[in-house]
Structure formats: structure tokens, C-alpha cells
Amino acid sequence: MRTRKDLMETAYTLDVIERLIAIDSGNAYGTFRDLRLSSHFQPVFSLAHGRAVGYEALLRAAGPDGNPVAPYDAFRIAHHVDEVALLDRLARAIHVRNFMAQPSGSSWLFLNVSPHVISTARSRHGRFFDDLLSSCNIPPQRIVVEILESSLQSDVPLAAAMDSLRERGFLIAIDDFGAGHSNFDRIWQLKPNIVKLDRSLLQRASGDRLARLILPRIASMLHEAGSLVLMEGVENESQAMMAMDADTDFVQGYFFARPAPILAPAPAGAVGFDTLFDQFQRLATLEHRDYQSELAPYARALQVAAQQLVDGEPAAAAFAGFLVQPMAERCYLLDGTGHQVGPSILSNTSRAQTDARYAPIADSLGSNFARRHYFRRAILRPGHVSITRPYLSLPTAMMCVTVSIAIGSGNGSRVLCGDIQWNEKLSTGDRSIDTAIPMPSG
């Protein structure tokens, strides 16, 4: 009987791990205590390529009675950190062998690894990972090491370990980002190659239009941080459309393929990427038309106001036609440098009039809005109406959409702006309505 001391001294070598592995009908199985361990693989599809570019290895465990045991419960059986490391390495050895026993081309293998094991691997546990890959003839660049984001406690030792993995050719992925206490500081510090968005983000976006609006921005920030983005948990076509709209790079979920012992290079059933892109384009076109139809009256009213200002009408009179629109919030005028000239004119139904909590920021006279998209776009295209995404207005502290149009040129330019109360009927896209009749300068 091996003692715990013996286990701690020897459990991390490849030779010891291989003694716990058996081959049955070409598949590798492991034994840990009274559990039988095997592999399943779920494809990771690239939206752009329309095919599987990687496979996440998932542990499957069964008890003596043959009944399945959840992976989380299997790891709970490991009572000591060294047993956790043993089980972690045994699972990886099984996965790598089963993966390499099948045609896999140049695809990645995603392997979940304990952060504790990774952060102590080189100091305590030797060269197990390198030896395993060498014995299976798979280079490190085909391995994506997945670290569960919610399990990260101290980033400092882990960051050094991840740097070491990168130097040896591995790719790094942060898993379940967006669940619990996720933060971008960890992304900037650990610099993962791939970030896997937790399924809870997609589930929230399915029933919350504001969450759907935020999802593309999360993906955009991750892209700007230098990471590719993978959307987990895609279970239906609607969620696939959201993943595509968010501009994620990869998708994974039951809608495309369920985990199985066999590597699946293409989506299951009737799911085809050409069909999905056709559907996405159709929905985007309909959404764009709906958005234009919803906001066209506001755009036309702002054009009329612009013409009236050119003709010499006072601002209050010129803006009246815009402010009677049902969701109109306020109108204001900016000079060619982005400074507001004159006070904001509120509609009779403006909610900003009733909330005294934001009194310190309500007066925007003289404020500089040169950095806002609605000002910059209008200045670049005089005579054309521009429309923003929904955003939080500073003077009213409410979600709104701004339509804007510039008249004049150079330092004599003025930009007319009208805020519309944002509601869930409005599209989440960033659209522009270009007028057919250019406005005269003046």
C-alpha cells in the first residue's frame, strides 16, 4: 500500500499516471479510486471558417454501479491537493490520448486545468505536461489551457505560470468569464489568448434587451485587450444570432453539437453556417428597417428644425416640431467646437423635469460635447442626420438615442441635437439615416 508521502513524491510523473490508464476498444480509460474515467469532446466552431477549429475535452466519470458521477463530484473525492493534482493529470492524459487516437487535423485541444496545479507545476510537479505531449506526438501550440475564471484567487503566481506556458508554445483561455465576480483587470494582467464568455451572459441577453446591447461591447473590449472571444452555451438559433451579432469569434453549445467520444468536425443536424449567415443577414436587414421606421419621424423633424434655423427662426420655435414627437426628450444646439450654446429645451413629457436628484448636471449650457459621436459624425457629414446607439445622457442621466445634424461649415458650423427616450422597441444596432436632400450651409 502506497503512503500519502509516496503519492506526493511520485504521482506527478508520466510513468505513474500511465499505470492508471487502460485501453478498451481503442479508447483510453482511467481509474481513480473506484471511479472509471473517460473522455467526451465538444466542438468549438469558428463562425468565420464555418467548421470546428478545436475541441474541449470533458471528463466523464462512472461509479462502481456504472451510474454517472459529475466531474465536480469526482474532484471532491480527492481529499488532498496532491490527489487533486493526480486526478487533474490523469484526466489530461486520458483526453490527450483519446484526442490523438482520432483524425483531428490541426485543430486545438482545450484542456481544463486546475489553477493551483498550473501555478505550482514547474516548482513541485516536474515536466509532466511536456512529457505527456511529447509521448503523444502533439505540439504545445495545439493545446489551449483553460483556467476557470471563477476559481482564480491570487493572480500573481498564476500570471508567472501562464507566462511560462506561453513561452513553451501553449495558448491560454479564461473560462466562464462573466459569471460571478469577473473583472477586466484579470484579463489585462493574465493576457489570455481566448476568453470564453459564460453561458449566463447569453441567457440574460435572451430576455433582457439592455443585456443584449452590452454583450457586443464586452466582446469588443476583449478584442481590444488582445483576446479572441468564444461564446459558450449556445442552445438555440436565437442565441446563435446573438453570438453572431456580438461579433464573437467562436461558438460552442448544444445547438451546434453535444459532447461525444467522437470528434465532430461539422455542426450536428440541420445546422449549417451558410444558412445561419443568411438568417442573420435577413434579421439584421429587418431590424435596420424597423429602426429606420421607428426613428424616421424624429430625423425628419430635426431636418425641418435645421432648415428653420437656417431661415432665421429662433431655436425654441424651430425645435417645437421635434419636441412634440412621442418619445422626444430634449433639443440643444452645439457650436463648431462642440460647446452647447443656449439652454436645453425639454419636451412637455420629459422625465428629466421630474427628477431633482440630477440637478447638479441638468444645466448643460456651455458644456463641451466635442468628444461625443453624435457631434463628430454630424460635423463630418453636414446635412445628414446621424443616429447614435442607446447611451446614458449626462444632463438627464437617462438612456437615450441622439439624432444630430450639422449646418454651416468651419467655425461657423452648428450641430442640432435631439435626444429620444430609449425604449426596448428600438434596435440595439448603430445605424445612420442619410438624408436624400443635403441641407444648405449658412
- Encode pLDDT of 401-422 as tens digits: 999 999 986 668 999 999 998 8
CATH architecture of the domain 4-271 equals: Alpha-Beta Barrel (3.20)
pLDDT at 75 over 50: yes
**Backbone phi, psi, residue 116, to 5°:** -65, -40
Burial annotation 268-291 (CB, 10 A radius, 16+ → b, else e): eeeeebeebeeebeeeeeebeeeb
β-strand partners of 31: 36
Distance between CA 109 and CA 303 in Å, rounded?
Answer: 56
Question: Percentage of the chain surpassing pLDDT 70?
Answer: 86
The domain locations on the chain are 4-271, 294-421
Would the CATH topology of 4-271 be identical to that of 294-421? no
| The predicted structure's pLDDT at residue 123 | 47
In this predicted model, what pLDDT tens digit does every residue of 311-356 receive, in sequence order? 999 999 999 999 999 999 999 999 999 999 999 999 988 876 667 7
In this predicted model, what pLDDT tens digit does every residue of 192-221 receive, in sequence order? 999 999 999 999 888 887 788 889 999 999
**How distant, in Å, are the alpha carbons of 38, 93, 95, 109 from that of 138?**
20, 12, 12, 10
What cell was used for 32? Answer: 481513480
Supply the CATH classification number for the domain 294-421. 3.30.450.20
DSSP 8-state code for residue 439? P
Q: What is the mean pLDDT of residues 58-74?
A: 91
C-beta separation of 200 from 178 below 8 A: yes
Q: Are strands 171-177 and 27-32 parallel, antiparallel or unpaired?
A: unpaired
pLDDT at 442 over 50: no
In this predicted model, what pLDDT tens digit does every residue of 157-200 receive, in sequence order? 677 888 888 999 999 999 989 876 667 788 888 889 999 999 99
Confidence band for 156, pLDDT divided at 50, 70 and 90: low
| The predicted structure's pLDDT at residue 127 | 82
